[in-house]
Amino acid sequence: MGKDTLTGLKVNHAMRKQVILLGPDDSIDCCIQYLIKYKVNALLIGNDGEKPLGVVSKSDIMGAWYAGLPLSTPIEMIMNSPPLFCGPDDTLDSALDTMKGNNIYRLYALEKDSNSVVGALAYPDIVGLLYHYCSQCDQGIFNKGKETPYDRVKRYKVHEIMTKQVESCQEETSLESVVEILSGSKFGAILVSDDQNFPIGVISKTDITLCYRHGQDLSVPAKSVMSTPVASCFEQDPVESAIKTMILKDLHRLFVIPGENQSVSGVLSLTDAARLRSGSCHACISSRIRVDKS
């Protein structure tokens, strides 16, 4: 296997060291509060001093609402078990292989020969590390103060790595149908279009989670809970430009359009960006900054 930008890097270079652990008896309502407060997509479930029992994600919360469970329901009733772990000294390449092979969004870093969880690794964390390299690379398009080296290396464009399938619904579609669509797909959000099929908003799993907590009725139309405007980028944009937008604006995805006032042709997520192991251009191996091993 050839080298890529992640070659030689370890989980502890990218993982988040703050890990939130809730008890199995804590309620769904408590879980939602922590998910929103800390802007994470999942929480670890277990008891202090013991190996964690499971994970509750926003997808699980969405399923609980669809099933009609009250907010007081203990989260052990909806958690996925067991969690999948990696070691802090495992390579990022192997961690990414595990995530892709098991079709999961995150791993938890477990200290060797211990029940102590020391970090969490998700696709956005890997993207953040890749962007760190891009922003400081001599060949990068954000290298201010120097002659722009834009044409010196082959740069990946958004259309090369985006997901071409886009889940969408009409503005009058019921929220219940939106939940069904998202539950049946691996997408984190659905595009809302008007009667001319022009995108007017987005409903994410975060939006649905908040609707659950606030007691929203599942019969309301999509337009009443959607977020606006639709964050987008162009097919021909460099991947690093799209990544910068997502990181700086705290977005998980951008909808992709060929040009101004054209229909959406795909979606670029942080997951798509993380799977591009070679970074956003072909200069990464030769020019990336050295990682501090200390």
Q: Which residue has the tokens 């199995």?
A: 24
Residue 224 lies in a domain: yes
Q: What is the pLDDT of residues 38-70, one digit of tens each?
A: 989 999 999 988 899 999 999 999 999 999 999
Range(s) of the domain holding residue 174: 158-275
pLDDT of residue 196: 78
Binned at pLDDT 50, 70 and 90, residue 185 comes out as: confident
Determine the average pLDDT of the residues in 275-279: 61
Kindly state whether residues 101 and 164 are assigned to the same domain.
Answer: no
pLDDT of residue 7: 67
Residue 84 lies in a domain: yes
pLDDT of residue 3: 52
Kindly state whether residues 44 and 94 are assigned to the same domain.
Answer: yes
Residue 145 lies in a domain: no
- How many domains does the structure of the chain reveal? 2
Kindly state whether residues 250 and 191 are assigned to the same domain.
Answer: yes
Residue 260 lies in a domain: yes
Residue 18 lies in a domain: yes
Residue 227 lies in a domain: yes
The model scores a pTM over 0.85:
no
pLDDT of residue 281: 62
Domain of 266, CATH number, reads 3.10.580.10
Residue 233 confidence (pLDDT) above 60: yes
Q: What is the pLDDT of residues 8-46, one digit of tens each?
A: 789 999 999 999 999 999 999 999 999 999 989 999 999
Kindly state whether residues 173 and 254 are assigned to the same domain.
Answer: yes
